[in-house]
Structure 1
Amino acid sequence: MTEAELIIIGNGMACQRLLAELVQQPNRPTRIVVFGAESKPAYNRVLLSSLLSNELPDSAAELASPDWYAEHGIELVCDDAVVLIDRERKLVVSRHGRYRRYQQLVLACGALPLTPTYAEDDSKHLLPGICHFRNWQDLATLRLAGQQLQHAVVVGGGFLGLEAAEGLRKLGMQVSLLQRGAYLLNRQLDATAATLLQQQLSARGLSIFTNSEIDRLNYKRGQLQSVRLTSGQQLKAHIVVLALGIKPNISLAQQAGLTVNHGIVVNADLQSSDSAIYALGECIELNGETFGLVAPVNAQATQLAQTLCGKTAPYCSEHAATQLKISGIALSSCGDIAALCANSNANADSFDASTDYLDAELFEYRRLWWRGPYLVGAVLYGDTGLSQQLSQLINQQQPYYGCRSSLLLGQIALGEIEPAPTDSAEKPAAVSQPQQQDAA
């Protein structure tokens, strides 16, 4: 049994970004082994909805070919998840009986999709006609459904739910979308932007039901026929797609005796409670925050690559703008919009003013939230050209003393923003970024 300098558990986007960073380091670990649970090398999960709607070929999602790993001296083990970590012996054991020793171990286990009780049996297996939209196998299932079935119900009005619903609609299915909240994307948008979004999606043929949940699944001869909502309404459904969010995959870390909470608890160096074990991506928790967006995970990979090569580079979380991937609809959100909307009157520390612009006929809307001279949140709908500029202003906590309407309308560049006249302005408390429960 050979010993690897570095073993990485999980071959998703976080792992691949880490590998891409590592191979550029002059003193990188020479013996790297990667274990992946899926049968194919890493791919871009963010593009699954674009593959479903046939906007992109499957090859567009490929992050690395098997040859790439071999060329860089990396041993890739697919379709063989690690099931045991022996920390005392620094040993991992895979499902198919592979044993590998490690000097350093990285957990990139990702996240698991949330599953409501009505969708699974007593053994926690999904019932017939129920699927998630999380991996390549799910993509194959939905493509087959588009060819053979007529009615679909998508549960979840977040990014992934909307993209799955639009993809199935483009395959010719009649799609009903259920959102438990009062409006779509209620963690990323305010009510005005969500109304514009619902109007555009409904005009395309999606049937959208807000404040709605499934109460019962109806089968005939083992085949799903319809669902009953808590309101009593019946909807035809030959397949139900669950897009209700994710939870960090902590089972392996928990079995190994590492400190876990909502995720695998790590410090600023992305180091777990075991000094030889690190973690990154959707499986971790840092200062009470979990991560579901691509941008922070990529930043973690960059930092961790340096740490594994002996450099000190603590990770610092930033707000990342989130964007919808549906052709013809542009929106962007940055900041904890759900908290800003919910606390408009309840929390004086949340914000003290907001600036907005609306052209309902052109489906254009912008809203900025302020706390003193600091921008703490932004929603853009229709024209998202200001997204990067506003995200930078939020992340840098740079005070803005100019005309807010000019900034809102894109009439001033970020480089033209004057520095603060004094140091007396109180900086806003860090606002936790709402997680994209169906992304990265």
Structure 2
Amino acid sequence: MTEADLIIIGNGMACQRLLAELVQQPNRPTKIVVFGAEAKPAYNRVLLSGLLSNELPDSAAELASPAWYAKHNIELICDDAVMLIDRERRLVVSRHGRYRRYQQLVLACGALPLTPGYAELTPGYAEDDSKHLLPGICHFRNWQDLATLRLAGQQLQHAVVVGGGFLGLEAAEGLRKLGMQVNLLQRSTYLLNRQLDATAAGLLQQQLSARGLSIFTNSEIDSLSYKRGQLQAVRLHSGQQLKADIVVLALGITPNISLAQQAGLTVNRGIVVNANLQSSDSAIYALGECIELNGETFGLIAPVNAQAKQLAQTLCGEDTAYCSENTATQLKISGIALSSCGDIATLCANTSADSFDGSTEYLDAERFEYRRLWWRGPYLAGAVLYGDTRLSQRLNQLINQRQPYYGCRSSLLLGLIDNAEKLTAVSQPQQQDAA
């Protein structure tokens, strides 16, 4: 039976970034084995929308060639998910009967797409594939989903996309570019309600509608209509019916904890880890979308990359810790630029008295430009930029590093950085200068 210094379960973007960090370490694990459930080696999921809309070639999504794995003495096993972790014997068993022992184990299992009850063929199905979905229903998360949607663009006419978040918007725009008539359903009052305020979302909806997308807010599917096994339409809670040859689900994700749970590791929403990304078993670590750290889960690339860098050092014997930060998010639709940083949903709801004490806004509706900054005393608490996102990096830095800002807020809002920085130096309180 083969024994490895390190086994990684999951061959997604988190795994690949961890491998890229590990091979740079002078005392990296010698023998590394990677198990992937998909037939295709790791690829960049962020680019799926660009691949769907034919803006990018498939090769653009490749993260590493087979030769790269061989060069670094990494055994890559694709299309063979791990089904069992025996912690006592430090052993993993795969679907196709492979047995591997480990000294250290990393779970990079990712997340599963959320599936509403009306779309399920097998309720409670635990794996991320299409076997549990009714005919005409798919997610937009992996390469198989991409192939399904490409075929739909060639053969079908009417699509309904469920979910007004980033992934739903990107899927809807990609299908529209393939020539389909697309209806987008958002259960909240406006698009991207976790990242934008109502004004920015209104500008976004206006631009997307002008392109030909039909957008329904405050809308959810009540039931599906089939004829001879083929999807024909969806019925909304409002009673309205929409033609639908295919329904694309983009309702968010949930950490994939099933394997960890079966192994008896501590789980909550995600696999519970400490600051070293170590699970309740000292030989098992985890990173990416499957983990939970201090009650927080992760779905963006930037924190996962930071986790991979830290974990690579930990696996090589260094004492390091991961500390999460706010991350700016951006929409990947050509011709539309937006950026968001901070807990915008909470700031917009203003549920607590100390959520923020003021905001600064700029709007040019004709040019589709909008910026809003939320302040808590001298600290920037959140930022939404629409149409012109050049300030994103600077604002993200102010939020994450908790730098007090004493300059002219309007100058900062308008991008007059040089003048704003000069005013910051002049306007700081005397005790700051003395310090």
TM-score, with length taken from structure 2 = 0.95
Look up the match of 1:55.
55
Look up the match of 1:315.
322
1:402 aligns with 2:402: no
Residues 105-158 of structure 1 deviation map (CA, whole Å, 9 limit, x = unaligned): 000000000000000124541000000000000000000000000000000000
**1:199 to 1:277, Cα distance in 2 relative to 1, 3 A:** same
**1:171 to 1:316, Cα distance in 2 relative to 1, 3 A:** same
Look up the match of 1:231.
238
4+ residue runs over 3 A deviation: 413-424
Distance 2:40 2:417 in 1: 47
Deviation, 1:2, is: 1.7
Q: Is the 8 A contact 1:369 1:376 kept in 2?
A: yes
The structure 2 residue matched to 1:330, chosen from 337, 341, 347, is 337
Look up the match of 1:247.
254
Look up the match of 1:7.
7
Look up the match of 2:204.
197
Distance 1:396 1:367 in 2: 19
Q: Give the alignment of 1:177-196 within 5 angstroms.
A: 177-196=184-203
1:148 aligns with 2:158: no
Structure 2: where are the runs of 5+ without partners?
Answer: 126-131
Q: Is the 8 A contact 2:272 2:280 kept in 1?
A: yes
2:164 match: secondary structure: coil
2:395 match: secondary structure: helix
Look up the match of 2:213.
206
Look up the match of 2:388.
383
Deviation, 1:349, is: 1.5
Look up the match of 2:369.
364
Look up the match of 2:17.
17
Distance 1:422 1:364 in 2: 37
Distance 1:189 1:402 in 2: 25
Deviation, 1:420, is: 5.5
Q: Is the 8 A contact 2:162 2:186 kept in 1?
A: yes
Look up the match of 2:133.
126
Structure in which a larger fraction of residues adopt helix: 2
Distance 1:367 1:270 in 2: 35
Q: Is the 8 A contact 1:399 1:420 kept in 2?
A: no
Deviation, 1:415, is: 6.3
Which residue type is aligned with residue 281 of structure 2? D
Distance 1:348 1:67 in 2: 57
Q: Is the 8 A contact 2:122 2:133 kept in 1?
A: no
Deviation, 1:40, is: 1.0
Deviation, 1:195, is: 0.1
Look up the match of 1:257.
264
**1:276 to 1:173, Cα distance in 2 relative to 1, 3 A:** same
Deviation, 1:421, is: 3.4
Deviation, 1:94, is: 0.3
Look up the match of 2:86.
86
Look up the match of 1:428.
none
| Count, aligned residues | 422
Look up the match of 1:421.
429
Look up the match of 1:288.
295
TM-score, with length taken from structure 1 = 0.94
Deviation, 1:189, is: 0.1
The structure 1 residue matched to 2:353, chosen from 324, 348, 355, is 348
Q: Is the 8 A contact 2:407 2:421 kept in 1?
A: no
Q: Is the 8 A contact 2:219 2:236 kept in 1?
A: yes
Distance 2:428 2:15 in 1: 41
Deviation, 1:348, is: 1.5
Deviation, 1:92, is: 0.3
Distance 1:213 1:162 in 2: 16
**1:423 to 1:23, Cα distance in 2 relative to 1, 3 A:** farther
Residues 366-425 of structure 1 deviation map (CA, whole Å, 9 limit, x = unaligned): 00000000001000000000000000000000000010000001101586544953779x
**1:420 to 1:86, Cα distance in 2 relative to 1, 3 A:** farther
CA RMSD of aligned residues (A): 1.2
Q: Is the 8 A contact 1:151 1:236 kept in 2?
A: yes
**1:420 to 1:50, Cα distance in 2 relative to 1, 3 A:** same
Q: Give the alignment of 1:19-168 within 5 angstroms.
A: 19-123=19-123, 124=125, 125-168=132-175
Residues 75-128 of structure 1 deviation map (CA, whole Å, 9 limit, x = unaligned): 000000000000000000000000000000000000000000000124541000
Look up the match of 1:216.
223
